[in-house]
Amino acid sequence: MGVKERRARQKKFLRQEILDAASELFVRDGYENVSMRRIADKIEYSPTTIYIYFKDKAELLEQVCKETFGRLVQRLSKIMGQPGDPVERLKRGLIAYIEFGIANPHHYRATFMMLFPEGFDHEKYHKEDSPGMQAFSFLTRGLTDCINAGKMPAMNVDLAAQTLWAGIHGTTSLLITHRTFPWVGRDKVIHSTADTLVTGLQGAA
Amino acid sequence: MGVKERRARQKKFLRQEILDAASELFVRDGYENVSMRRIADKIEYSPTTIYIYFKDKAELLEQVCKETFGRLVQRLSKIMGQPGDPVERLKRGLIAYIEFGIANPHHYRATFMMLFPEGFDHEKYHKEDSPGMQAFSFLTRGLTDCINAGKMPAMNVDLAAQTLWAGIHGTTSLLITHRTFPWVGRDKVIHSTADTLVTGLQGAA
DNA sequence: AGCGTAGAGTTAACACTGTTAAGTTAGTGA
DNA sequence: TCACTAACTTAACAGTGTTAACTCTACGCT
């Protein structure tokens, strides 16, 4: 016995190897500039082997992004768990989100800036475990903390969280796609976004 | 004489016909799902004819988007030219921007959410006449009006405008790509974005 | 009137793409 | 030793953007 297990381990190993190769190429050249044949070349297998482990190119990307965003969730989790002023903590979370997106532009693009293919199962995607949903829940938690601490007025927390998400997503995606736009300064825009959004919510009726 | 002119007119006509066909297909199916051959089929010319009028597919898209964003600039121009409270006017402009993006998702995506191809001439692009720059100048103008009317504190107008742009771009692009996300309500998010951003800037130190 | 030429539009081809069906080959359990 | 299974490969399909080389029409000029 144990032969089945060994095989399963080997299979998992190759699967991870494909994932790593794809990730590296996606990061360097972007999803649409990486072909299945190039990924195959990198791991020295034939292109069709990839299809044994992944349904298609989109699923391969999806898995790569899942890995990456696990790291974002970890980071946010760390920040949101720290003690101190909840408003400052929320701001730090917003900034961490933006900086994560800029540090992983291709992955960020893939998960939040690409149109879903037709016939995509959104029902399933927007359940608890999608990267959007997970990162999003940190916002609602952060806001609730602020309200409970009396630092923010009572409000529709979901609406406020969605407003926050839209704001930080805007800065992230704009800094990614319009890298050469004459920005006043990357850090200035990032901090201004966090400050303006939080101040705006604090001042809401 | 006049024959040269007539030819030029005819040439311009076909050029516009290509542009219209491409626009319709881009709007319906999105840039990457439209092939040069399909555009050619629609106008009943051979695919290579398009290359006589446009350098490549990207330039075709660029021209299509230029047309569309001409309409946005017109709309913003109308709103910003109206009398009344400058703060309300600015908010109306922000909302109009978002709604325009949602109404033209494929064009919006193409101009603001796509990575530029390698070797793209950014210097030239970020001059006065790029769609981003034109729409952007409305923000600085709107903000200056608010400050002059004493409705907003003195501030770095460029930084504030970039913050605003990031905010409204975020809402626009998120509503486009994550259409099926359980939003509290499209209109609610749109208005909340505009209110939060403006309030946030008003409350800035 | 007839010739040469410019240029609009064509056909055929290249080098790619994602993906699938069919085939090979190695290693297992009986 | 044999059959089977799972891993992997080869060959192919239908499509992509794009280019080089060609045709053909209509104009201006002699």
Q: Determine the pLDDT at residue B43.
A: 96
Minimum mean pLDDT among A139-143, A155-159, B127-131: which range? B127-131
CA nearest neighbour of A65 among A99, A100, A37, A93: A100
Helix or strand or coil: residue A37? helix
Residue A181 CA distance to nucleotide C7 C1' (Å):
40
SS3 readout for chain B: CCHHHHHHHHHHHHHHHHHHHHHHHHHHHCHHHCCHHHHHHHHCCCHHHHHHHCCCHHHHHHHHHHHHHHHHHHHHHHHHHCCCCHHHHHHHHHHHHHHHHHHCHHHHHHHHCCCCCCCCCHHHHCCCCCHHHHHHHHHHHHHHHHHHCCCCCCCCHHHHHHHHHHHHHHHHHHHHHCCCCCCCCHHHHHHHHHHHHHHHHHCCC
CA nearest neighbour of B164 among B61, B68, B62, B76: B76
In chain B, the residue whose alpha carbon lies closest to the alpha carbon of A126 is B181
Give the minimum alpha-carbon distance from A199 to chain B in angstroms, rounded to a whole number.
5
In chain A, the residue whose alpha carbon lies closest to the alpha carbon of B155 is A192
Q: Tell me, yes or no, if A51 comes closer than 8 A to chain B by beta carbon.
A: no
Instruction: Extract the tokens encoding A39.
Output: 């990924």
Residue A5 CA distance to nucleotide C26 C1' (Å):
18
Q: How confident is the model at residue A1 (pLDDT cuts 50, 70, 90)?
A: very low
Q: Tell me, yes or no, if B202 comes closer than 8 A to chain A by beta carbon.
A: yes
Residue A29 CA distance to nucleotide D7 C1' (Å):
30
Taking CB atoms and an 8 Å limit, are A183 and B202 in contact across chains?
Answer: no
Exposure string over B97-135, b if 16+ CB within 10 A, otherwise e? bbbbbbebbbbbbbbbbbbeeeeeeeeebbeeebbbebb
On whether the CB atoms of residues A176 and A69 are closer than 8 A, the answer is no
CA-to-CA separations, B70 to A145, A189, B65, B100, in angstroms, rounded: 44, 27, 8, 12
Instruction: Extract the tokens encoding A92.
Output: 């730090």
A48 contact to strand D (CB, 7 A limit): yes
CA distance B40 to B18: 8
A52 contact to strand D (CB, 7 A limit): yes
On whether the CB atoms of residues A181 and B126 are closer than 8 A, the answer is yes
Q: How confident is the model at residue A119 (pLDDT cuts 50, 70, 90)?
A: low
Taking CB atoms and an 8 Å limit, are A197 and B201 in contact across chains?
Answer: no
Q: Determine the pLDDT at residue A35.
A: 98
Compute CA A44 distance to the chain's CA centroid, rounded to the nearest angstrom: 30
B40 contact to strand D (CB, 7 A limit): no
| Most confident option among A6-15, A118-127, B46-55 | B46-55
Q: Tell me, yes or no, if A113 comes closer than 8 A to chain B by beta carbon.
A: yes
Instruction: Extract the tokens encoding A15.
Output: 């699967």
Residue-level pLDDT, tens digit, chain B, 205 residues: 445 556 667 778 999 999 999 999 999 999 999 999 999 999 999 999 999 999 999 999 999 999 899 999 999 999 999 999 999 999 999 999 999 999 999 999 988 998 776 667 777 777 667 777 888 899 999 999 999 999 999 999 999 999 999 999 999 999 999 998 899 999 999 999 999 999 999 997 6
Q: Determine the pLDDT at residue A205.
A: 60
Enumerate residues 74 to 93 of chain A having a beta carbon within 8 A of any beta carbon in chain B.
none
Q: pLDDT higher for A184 or B2?
A: A184
In chain A, the residue whose alpha carbon lies closest to the alpha carbon of B132 is A181
Taking CB atoms and an 8 Å limit, are A112 and B167 in contact across chains?
Answer: no
Residue A4 has pLDDT above 70, yes or no: no
Given the structure tokens 């604090």, which residue do they identify?
A202
| Most confident option among A116-120, A135-139, B143-147, B179-183 | B143-147
| pLDDT (tens digit per residue) in A39-79 | 999 999 999 999 999 999 999 999 999 989 999 999 999 99
Alpha-carbon torsion (A44, A45, A48, A51), positive or negative: negative
Q: What is the mean pLDDT of chain A?
A: 91
Q: Determine the pLDDT at residue A128.
A: 63
Chain A partners of B113 at a C-beta cutoff of 8 Å? 113, 173, 177
Crossing angle, helix B86-103 and helix B131-148, to 10 degrees? Answer: 160
| pLDDT (tens digit per residue) in A11-48 | 789 999 999 999 999 999 999 999 999 999 999 999 99
Of A166, A188, A195, nearest to B193 by CB-CB distance is: A166
B38 contact to strand D (CB, 7 A limit): yes
